[in-house]
Amino acid sequence: MYKVLVTGGTKGIGVVIAQRLKDFGYEVFTCARDQQGSFQCDVTKADEVDAMRAKLGSIDVLVNNVGGIITGSFMKISESDWDQHFTLNMKGTFLCTQAFLPTMLSNKFGRIVNIASTAGLMGYRNVSAYVASKHAVIGLTRALALEVAAEGVTVNAICPSFVDTPMLRESTKIIADKTGKSVEELIEKYRARSPQKRLVTPEEVAATVQFLIETPAVNGQAIALCGGETIG
């Protein structure tokens, strides 16, 4: 069965992806900045990514899941906040992909799945740096997919809308503290954005990852998991 690395695989969406693939017989490794994963690695640092690659060796599947968000209106975004978004949401994806792609190409097989967001397909108020960085992830996905399409490697992105995870609730609490609204009141607004009137589950993201691994005809796609929010 395939050998898989899930970055940020010790919590939130990542841990659910890792567990599902394990349940289906994949050999799964995870990494995180703390010591909870198979590898302790800050994927935004090239030397740590290179060290992880040296220990892990070649893999068949890379799931770039690391990401983060800082909320705030555009005029209140600092330069460091902007840089942090692109470092966390984009640089880690770039470094890990560049590290593990060569052996995929030499093996004539590989799957790269980038966990993006509907924020990479459309705009949202008060998270412009996050939106910009997720658009960049999707741009990389589409460009690289064309480069490697004839080499047995596929590159795709999954674009969930609001997923019921601790990260969502943490970012929502920041907004709640600023606005005086409750977390649950804001979560209900997220649900209302979806035509299905619900949040996406981590399990749905994990199932889509498995689908992309097992379906080679899908390449260069940004698959929206949003209940139809991005339609119009």
Range of the domain at 158: 3-162+201-225
Question: Is 114 within the bounds of a domain?
Answer: yes
Q: Which residue numbers are catalytic? A: 130
User: pTM (2 decimals)?
Assistant: 0.94
- pLDDT at residue 172 above 90? no
The two tokens of residue 83 are: 């840089």
Q: What is the DSSP string of 45-89?
A: SHHHHHHHHHHH---SEEEE---------GGG--HHHHHHHHIII
pLDDT of residue 224 exceeding 90 = yes
Residue 179 has a CB neighbour count (10 Å cut-off) of: 10
What is the rounded CA–CA span in Å between residue 119 and residue 128? 9
Number of Cβ within 10 Å of residue 143's Cβ equals 11
Q: Which residue in 155, 67, 165 sits closest to 117, CA to CA?
A: 67
In a domain, 183, yes or no: no
CA distance 169 to 16: 17
Q: Give the model's confidence band at 56: pLDDT under 50 very low, under 70 low, under 90 confident, else very high.
A: very high
Mean pLDDT of 208-230: 97
232: pLDDT strictly greater than 70:
no
Dist CA 43 CA 29 (whole Å): 14
**CA atoms of 201 and 208, how far apart (whole Å):** 11
**Residue at 185 is within a domain:** no
Residue 109 placed within a domain: yes
Residue 148's closest CA among 210, 106, 177, 183?
Answer: 106
Calculate what percentage of the chain has a pLDDT beyond 70. 100
189 located within any domain: no
Overall domain count for the chain: 1
Q: With H, G, I as helix, E, B as strand and everything else as coil, classify residue 224.
A: strand
Phi, psi of 61 (to 5 degrees): -135, 130
Enter the DSSP assignment of 163: B
The pLDDT tens digits of the residues spanning 98-116 come to: 999 999 999 999 999 999 9
pLDDT at 169 over 90: no
Q: How far is CA 217 from CA 43, 112, 143, 149, 223, in A?
A: 29, 13, 16, 10, 14
Residue 66 is assigned to a structural domain of this protein: yes
147 in a domain, yes or no?
yes
Residue 169 lies in a domain: no
The tens digit of pLDDT for each residue in 134-145 reads 999 999 999 999
CATH code of 106's domain: 3.40.50.720
